[in-house]
């Protein structure tokens, strides 16, 4: 059975409704022809020259990347820049690009929810709830209006699912949970190898906020919601100082580690929906930061 780029877009929109994406984000089908046939799909966190080389060598028809390429509008596509060269090679190779990014962060079964589940948090909800209008499906994905192409997710969001819509997650930790113990749990889930903390490792954490990637900007919202711990990928030096001053413990997993595990999960979910396709997480997707022994 023939599977098209459009059908993959619909499946991805069901897993990560694009209406959940932040207003500043660039999500959906970013490169490619919706009517093109798909047989091979590669999933990655970030498109890099090494990832592009893998996609071309393994004859991928579609890359599902967490971080968008392009992210910002480009005035030209030439080989004069790294981004331009990658896009040029992908377009020449007939490789489409799709990104769900912050929609996958915030989806009901997305990255932050997976972290909340792994940490055993209870009373889980979004840090910044998203209010949907009555009868909103919450899962539309708008395509290229110039061509009339579009991808629409299936079905309306249930009442229980709607309660989980919004950015980040927060929930209650088990009694007696320390910052160190929580950090070890998060590291085990994400396979993070260079976890850093702000705050005493022995401090008791009660209410925990989760924001994958560069989540330091959630500190104020988390503190105002009564959280005394924030688990994220990375935060600025000044955000770390603010957390210390407010008595909020930080667990910094690293940007790559806090999100890559969930892209592997996404590859598995796509494979379950499209068992006729070859779908794999990129082997060349790597953390650019190396920790010295």
Asked whether residue 13 is assigned to any structural domain, the reply reads: yes
**Is 77 part of a structural domain of the chain?**
yes
8 A C-beta contact, residue 233 and residue 214 = yes
Is 40 within the bounds of a domain? yes
Residue 175 CB partners (closer than 8 Å, separation 6+): none
Domain count, the chain: 1
Domain-embedded: residue 185: no
Rounded to whole angstroms, the Cα distance separating 29 from 62 reads 10
Q: Which residues pair with 231 in a beta bridge?
A: 210, 251
Query: Is 10:151 a contact under the CB 8 Å cutoff?
Result: yes
Is residue 169 domain-resident? no
The C-alpha atoms of residue 179 and residue 202 are separated, in whole angstroms, by 6
Supply the pLDDT for residue 131.
Answer: 64
Sign, CA dihedral 6-24-154-266, equals positive
Q: Please give the pLDDT value at position 166.
A: 82
* pLDDT the model gives residue 165: 76
Q: How far is CA 77 from CA 81, 92, 112, in A?
A: 8, 12, 34
Q: What is the CATH number of the domain that holds 267?
A: 3.40.1390.30
Its domain, for residue 277, covers: 5-100+258-281
pLDDT (0 to 100) of residue 141? 42
Of 5, 54, 130, 31, the closest CA to residue 286 belongs to 54
Q: Provide CB contacts within 8 A for 221, sequence distance 6+.
A: 127, 128, 168, 209
Instruction: Tell me the C-alpha distance between 250 and 229, whole Å.
Output: 6
Q: Is 92 among the domain residues?
A: yes
Q: Cα dihedral angle (203, 204, 206, 211), rounded to 10 degrees? A: 40
pLDDT (tens, 9 = 90+) of the chain, 293 residues, equals: 799 999 999 999 999 999 999 999 999 999 999 999 999 999 999 999 999 999 999 999 999 999 999 999 889 999 999 999 999 999 999 999 999 999 999 999 999 999 999 999 999 999 998 765 554 444 344 444 333 344 434 334 555 555 567 899 999 999 999 999 999 999 999 999 999 999 999 999 999 999 999 999 999 999 999 999 999 999 999 999 999 999 999 999 999 999 999 999 999 999 999 999 999 999 999 999 998 87
Residue 156 lies in a domain: no
Residues 173, 208: contact at Cβ < 8 Å? Answer: yes
Question: Domain for residue 277, yes or no?
Answer: yes
pLDDT of residue 15: 96
What is the rounded CA–CA span in Å between residue 48 and residue 194?
Answer: 22
Strand partners, 4: 37
Angle ∠(223,227,229) on CA atoms, nearest 5: 100
Parallel, antiparallel, or unpaired for β 140-141 and 151-152? Answer: antiparallel
């Amino acid at each position: 059975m023939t599977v098209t780029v459009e059908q993959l877009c619909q499946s991805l929109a069901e897993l990560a409704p694009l209406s959940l994406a932040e207003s500043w984000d660039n999500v959906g089908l970013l490169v490619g022809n919706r009517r093109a046939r798909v047989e091979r799909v590669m999933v990655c966190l970030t498109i890099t020259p090494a990832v592009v080389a893998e996609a071309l060598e393994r004859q991928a028809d579609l890359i599902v990347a967490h971080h968008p390429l392009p992210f910002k509008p480009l005035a030209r596509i030439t080989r004069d820049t790294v981004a331009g060269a990658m896009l040029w090679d992908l377009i020449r190779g007939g490789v489409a690009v799709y990104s769900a990014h912050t929609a996958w962060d915030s989806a009901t079964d997305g990255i932050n929810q997976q972290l909340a589940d792994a940490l055993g948090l209870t009373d889980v909800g979004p840090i910044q709830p998203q209010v949907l209008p009555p009868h909103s499906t919450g899962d539309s994905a708008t395509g290229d209006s110039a061509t009339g192409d579009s991808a629409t997710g299936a079905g309306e969001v249930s009442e229980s699912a709607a309660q989980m819509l919004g950015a980040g997650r927060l929930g209650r930790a088990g009694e007696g949970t320390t910052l160190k113990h929580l950090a070890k749990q998060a590291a085990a889930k994400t396979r993070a190898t260079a976890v850093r903390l702000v705050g005493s490792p022995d401090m008791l954490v009660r209410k925990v906020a989760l924001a994958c990637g560069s989540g330091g900007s959630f500190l104020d919202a988390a503190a105002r919601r009564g959280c005394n711990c924030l688990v994220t990928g990375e935060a600025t030096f000044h955000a770390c100082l603010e957390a210390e001053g407010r008595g909020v413990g930080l667990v910094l997993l690293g940007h790559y580690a806090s999100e890559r595990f969930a892209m592997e999960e996404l590859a598995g979910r796509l494979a379950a929906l499209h068992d006729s396709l070859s779908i794999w997480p990129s082997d060349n997707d790597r953390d650019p930061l190396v920790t010295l022994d």
